[in-house]
Amino acid sequence: MRTYRTASLNVLWFLIALNVVIWVFTLVRPESMITFLGLTPVLVPRQPWTILTAMFVQYDFWHILFNMVSLYFLGSFFLRAAGERNFLAVFFIGGLAGNLLYFLLGYLVYQGLIPSALGDPFSPAIGASGAVFAIGAALAVLVPRVRVFIIPIPVPMPLWIAILIFFVILIIVPILAPSLGIAWQGHLGGAVAGAIMGYLLRRRGQSYYPR
C-alpha cells in the first residue's frame, strides 16, 4: 500500500498549451505546417526533427480536443501516481517510440520489404496519441486495479480494462479499416513503450497508489 500525494500540474499544462499554440499556427497554413512538422516516412532522412515535432501537431478541433482531454486526465493521474520526472520520461519516450514505429514500417513498405498494409510511406502522421497511449499503458501496468469511468459506460471499471478498450478501438479497428486514416502504428508503439516503462516503475516501487 502506498500513500496518496498531490502533484503540481504545471508541466502538464505547459504541454497542453504548447500543443494548442502549435495547432493555432497550423490553422493558418495547415498543409505547410503538417508537411514541415509532421512525420512522413520517406522525408525523415531530410527532416529528422519530425520524429519529435509530429507529436505536438494536431489536425483539427476534435483531434486536439480528444488528445488534450485524454492527456489531462491520464497525465494528472500519472503525475500523482509516479511524479513529474517519470511522467516526462514516459510521455517523450512513448511518443518517440510511436513515431519511430510509424517511420520504420512506412520506410520498409517504401523499400518493398513488407506488405503495404503495415505502413504508408507518403502520408504524414501527427498527434500526441502515441504519447497519450504510453501514459495510459504505463498506468494500466503500474496501478491496474484503480477504477475509472469511461463515458458513456455508467459503471466504474479497472483501469487496465479501460485501456484495453481504447487499445481495441484505436489500434485493432484501424488495422482492420485502414480507410479511417488512423496511424495505429503510433498508438501501438506508444502503448508498448508505456507498458514496458510502467513495468519498470512498478518493479522499482515508484507508485503512490495501491496497485
3-state SS string for 56-67: HCCCCHHHHHHH
Residue 56 · residue 22 · CB < 8 Å: yes
- Where does the chain have alpha helices with state H? 10-28, 30-37, 50-53, 61-82, 84-110, 129-142, 159-167, 173-176, 184-203
β-strands 147-150, 153-158 pairing: antiparallel
Domains in the chain, CATH or no CATH each: 10-203 (1.20.1540.10)
The strand pairing partners of 84, in sequence order, are none
Q: How far is 50 from 124, CA to CA, in rounded Å? A: 10
Question: Do residues 199 and 86 lie in contact, with contact meaning Cβ atoms separated by under 8 Å?
Answer: no
Between CA 171 and CA 43 the distance in angstroms is 24
Lowest-confidence region among 69-83, 124-138, 177-191: 177-191
CA of 189: how far to CAs of 125, 167, 194, in Å?
13, 12, 9
pLDDT per residue as tens digits for the range 133-153: 999 999 999 888 877 766 667
Other C-beta atoms lying within 10 Å of the C-beta of residue 175 = 14
- Rounded mean pLDDT of the chain? 88
> By CB neighbour count within 10 A (0-12 exposed, 13-18 middle, 19+ buried), where does 90 fall?
buried
Q: Measuring CA to CA, which residue among 51, 53, 55 is closest to residue 104? A: 51
pLDDT tier for residue 191 given thresholds of 50, 70 and 90: very high
pTM to 2 decimal places: 0.89
Q: What pLDDT sits at residue 96?
A: 97
Rounded to whole angstroms, the Cα distance separating 211 from 208 reads: 9
pLDDT (tens digit, 9 = 90+) per residue, 4-62? Answer: 456 678 999 999 999 999 999 999 888 899 999 999 999 999 999 999 999 999 988 98
Neighbour tally for 110: CB within 10 Å: 16
